[in-house]
Structure 1
Amino acid sequence: MKTQQPVLTTSVVALVDLPRFRFAGFDGGLCPAGAKALGSVAADTEADNVAPVNVLGICLVTAGGAFAAGDQVESDANGRAIKLATGASNGIAMDVATASGDIVRIVRGI
């Protein structure tokens, strides 16, 4: 089992149902593809409720595809981590993701 070590957790009002371990956008929705994320959602949160979001530290996130440990990651259209291509970096993978749906640790800085 992988663990998190968040340094900073904040909250945001969920615009939609936010699944745990997905990137949240600054507006309370899922982070759009290639956009900078507020952080990783720490608990399943229904729309119009307050979601805890890990902003800084070692955070868990759902992979949207395969990537290697050490790769920078960005958000896909579903708030999942994918290998950085042309979007904004949302952290560095600490674990290998072999398939979509893997839960991995990422290091998030400012």
Structure 2
Amino acid sequence: MKGQNVVLTMSVLAVTDLQARRFVGLDGKTCGDGAKALGVVEVDTEADNMAPANALGAILVEAGGAIAAGADVQSNASGQAVAKAAGLSNGIALDAATATGDVIRILRGV
């Protein structure tokens, strides 16, 4: 089991239903492919409610595919962490992911 060390959690109004452990954008929607994230949603949140978004620290996130430990990560279109390609970095993988759906720790804010 992996733990997280959250330094900063922010509230964001969920414009759509948001899934836990996925990136959320500044607009309150699931973060887009390669876009900058506000943080990672802590709990499943229905639209029109305030969602807790972990913005700083060692944070648990769902992977969208294989990721090497130490790699920069970005969001995919589903808000999952994937190895950074042409998008904006949303953290550094502290753990390796071998498959979609793996939960890994990322470091944000360094």
Q: Percent identity?
A: 60
CA-based RMSD: 0.7
Match of 1:47 in 2: 47
Deviations 1:49-107 (A, max 9, x none): 00000000000100000011000000000000000000000000000100000000000
Match of 2:71 in 1: 71
Aligned to 1:106, what secondary structure does the other structure show?
strand
Q: Provide TM-score, normalisation by structure 1.
A: 0.98
Q: 5 Å matches for 1:1-110?
A: 1-109=1-109
- Separation (CA, whole Å) in 2 of partners of 1:67 and 1:42: 21
Per-residue deviation at 1:41? 0.3
- Separation (CA, whole Å) in 1 of partners of 2:16 and 2:4: 24
4+ residue runs over 4 A deviation: none
- Separation (CA, whole Å) in 2 of partners of 1:90 and 1:60: 12
- Separation (CA, whole Å) in 2 of partners of 1:44 and 1:2: 19
Q: Provide TM-score, normalisation by structure 2.
A: 0.98
Identify unmatched segments of 5+ residues in structure 2.
none
Identify unmatched segments of 5+ residues in structure 1.
none
Per-residue deviation at 1:4? 1.0
Provide the aligned length of Structure 1 versus Structure 2: 110
- Separation (CA, whole Å) in 1 of partners of 2:67 and 2:44: 25
